[in-house]
Structure 1
Amino acid sequence: MTALPTLPTRPVVSEAPAGYAWWRFGRYSILVHRRAWSSGFLLIAAMIIVSGISLASGAAGLSPWTALAAAIGQGEPMHVFLVQELRLQRLIAGLLTGAALGVAGCLLQTLARNRLATPGIIGIDDGATAFAVASIVAIPTTLAPSALALTGAATAAGLAFGLSGGAGARGYRFIVVGIAVGALFGALTNLMLARTDMDSANQAYPWTVGSLNARPAQAVWLLGIGLLAGLPVAKYLGRALTLMRFSDSVATGLGVPLKRMRVMTLLLTVFLTALAVAVVGPVGLIALAAPEVARYLVGHQGVPVFNAALAGATLMSLADWVGRTLMAPIEIPVGVIMAVIGGPYLLWILLRPSARRAP
């Protein structure tokens, strides 16, 4: 009677790989990247500091501690009114829009395998802006401009994606077609503004440059709900996008449903971008800079969705604070501040050798 061969057993791993840590909770454990978590806490700290400074700065200056206390309803009634009714709503709008644009930029850059593929550069911002402006100056409707921004963003994304043949290996073609689509919608926006009266043009002006001044509360709440629902989906897509950075044949061999993942990624990008543009207008350079900051801090080849959201929120609130205080009492729209900062940054991205590598 012969003995049955023994089956090989799985090796017991007692230590986490280099650069990772195991968090054990009884029978369950989580493997986390040390640098990703530490950079996340660093971005949270930076966001809190910038938020406190933003709440304290203005025509009536407050100390950061007084401003934070007023934000939760503590302190003098005048300080509470100033912070909660004027500054806090603006800060929340900036944090939410920055986070949404950061996530959208991170997803789209990874999908197109190019760091220049952002919602602003491929025309999604311009499409949303054109439809929002049209609802004010060209074809007045009962729908709010923020509602039509979603339609414009979807139209621009569909045109760019369809005319380029997809966003897979054709990353540069996708960008070039997107630039053309954005230029078309930008020209339509300028044409509508040139042929309308002064009052309507002034009403539509914030939608063309990007501003956080007196944003509609309904659009801000809708963005918050959409971001809360979209972040887990973005994290789920990030795992597949990490494998899709390889060639299509390799990703397919690893079990990634390419077509479904691309469609889901594009839909989520359009969704988040449209909700953000419906609040702040076109501030597309946040989507360019925030993912790059997140990748630099994380230092590994994953898709840093949450860190991109934190970086985008911090950059947006910082740019808004600079715009409010740099030439006070004159306010500079946040879109103008980001254009001044983002222009040289974009040139740096284009000129450095790593700009030709996939994100």
Structure 2
Amino acid sequence: MLERSSPRVAAPPGYWRIAWQSPRGNACSLLIERRSLVVSTGLFVALLCVCVLYLGLGSMALAPSAVIPALFGAGEMISVFTVQELRLPRLAAACLTGGAFALAGVLMQTLARNRLATPGIIGIDNGATAFAVASIVNVGVSIAPPAMALVGAATAAALTFGLVAGGGTQGYRFIVAGFGVGAVFGALTQLMLARVAIDVANAAYPWTVGSLNARHDNAVGLLAIGLTVGIVAAGFVARPLSLMRFKDATAYGLGINVKAWRFQVLMLSVVLTALAVAVAGPVGMVGLIGPEIARSLSSSRQVPFVASLLSGALVMVLADLAGRTLLAPIEIPVGIVIAVIGGPWLLWILMRPQRSHA
């Protein structure tokens, strides 16, 4: 938050204030919320520690003292190969998809003013999955899965918001419409898989449960670019979205064009979800767990974009690590692990009182 004021103005409670003089002689200052900075720093450190653990655990266990040099090409060749070629690309995919799902989740939840309104809950990831599977099983299309996932996510979002047109995006009508749209696309996915050869169905299977084992390198690179742009875009929509947590009349009174910003936030959430689904499949439950962790740790003054992104990446990495190691050599898809965690988490959210934004 930037402000033009006298350097002598004291910082509000809970903030640090950094003041300086601009080249034109104007007094400027930057307000940094203390709790958000501490929470984000703590989550980042925790993510780094879990990443080192992720790179060291597997069929060939490596100590942290061997993992860190291997990241830079030092140490034994087998350690370098294991870390850089086998585990690091998958770790990057886990961090990127978890961060994208969680960032899309916090955007959607804030936009709808509903903690359950994540891309996974309202059917966006099912729509992306259905269209991606259609491209794999060649149901009349030959477009690459990432592009089809984007089309599917946009279609599901348009259907869900169209069904509640005039009723707003608040309350359980919005959630029920999303469940219905997701169920339809889920049924279409199962129908397509039932009508193709078993080998083709096996190739599309990871898209239906969520897995990082069959990721596409091009999709991971596209997700990295998209998430970077998404983080910058989230910074631009942070202030309008914070005000949109209140009623539309209040936001309009504070100078926010609610309809225009709502469309931009929705498109950002859809794109992030589609890019993440193109890499990992429908693991949208991360978009529910990550933002909830961030909110429980952060203050309610602002939308916790950074904390949500880091929490989502942390959850995704831990879930994939558990799937790789718990029943080794059998691997559990990350989507199944997240579903096992997300079910009880969803019940806890429903029973837990919502924090006020006041």
TM-score normalised per structure 2: 0.93
Structure 2 residue 80 is the aligned partner of structure 1 residue 80: yes
Q: Which residue of 2 aligns with 1:297?
A: 297
- Corresponding residue SS for 1:278: helix
Q: Distance in 2 between matches of 1:159 and 1:19?
A: 42
Q: Alignment identity in percent?
A: 56
Q: Which runs of 5+ in 2 are unaligned?
A: 23-27
Question: For 1:323-342, what per-residue CA distance to the aligned partner results, in whole angstroms no more than 9, with x for missing partners?
Answer: 10111111001000000001
Q: Distance in 2 between matches of 1:29 and 1:352?
A: 38
Q: Which residue of 1 aligns with 2:25?
A: none
Mapped contact 1:111–1:167 kept (Cα < 8 A) = no
Question: For 1:85-116, what per-residue CA distance to the aligned partner results, in whole angstroms no more than 9, with x for missing partners?
Answer: 11000000000011111110000000000000
Q: Distance in 2 between matches of 1:43 and 1:148?
A: 33
- Corresponding residue SS for 1:32: strand
- Corresponding residue SS for 1:14: coil
Q: Which residue of 2 aligns with 1:269?
A: 269
- Corresponding residue SS for 1:320: helix
Q: Which residue of 2 aligns with 1:32?
A: 32
Shift of 1:180: 0.6
CA RMSD of superposed structures (Å): 1.8
Q: Distance in 2 between matches of 1:169 and 1:337?
A: 30
Q: Distance in 1 between matches of 2:95 and 2:122?
A: 23
Q: Distance in 1 between matches of 2:292 and 2:93?
A: 22
TM-score normalised per structure 1: 0.93
Mapped contact 1:98–1:313 kept (Cα < 8 A) = yes
Q: Which residue of 2 aligns with 1:63?
A: 63
Shift of 1:145: 1.6
- Corresponding residue SS for 2:42: helix
Q: Distance in 2 between matches of 1:107 and 1:207?
A: 24
Q: Which residue of 2 aligns with 1:250?
A: 250
Structure 2 residue 310 is the aligned partner of structure 1 residue 310: yes
Mapped contact 1:111–1:168 kept (Cα < 8 A) = no
Alignment of 1:1-359 (within 5 A): 13-27=8-22, 28-139=28-139, 141-165=141-165, 168=168, 170-354=170-354
Question: For 1:198-253, what per-residue CA distance to the aligned partner results, in whole angstroms no more than 9, with x for missing partners?
Answer: 10110000000111114111100000001111111112212111111111111101
Shift of 1:144: 2.0
Mapped contact 1:138–1:192 kept (Cα < 8 A) = no
- In structure 2, relative to structure 1, the CA distance for the partners of 1:166 and 1:273 (3 Å cut) is farther
**Number of positions where the alignment pairs a residue of Structure 1 with one of Structure 2:** 349
Indicate the structure (1 or 2) with the bigger Cα radius of gyration: 1
Q: Which moved more, 1:35-44 or 1:305-314?
A: 305-314
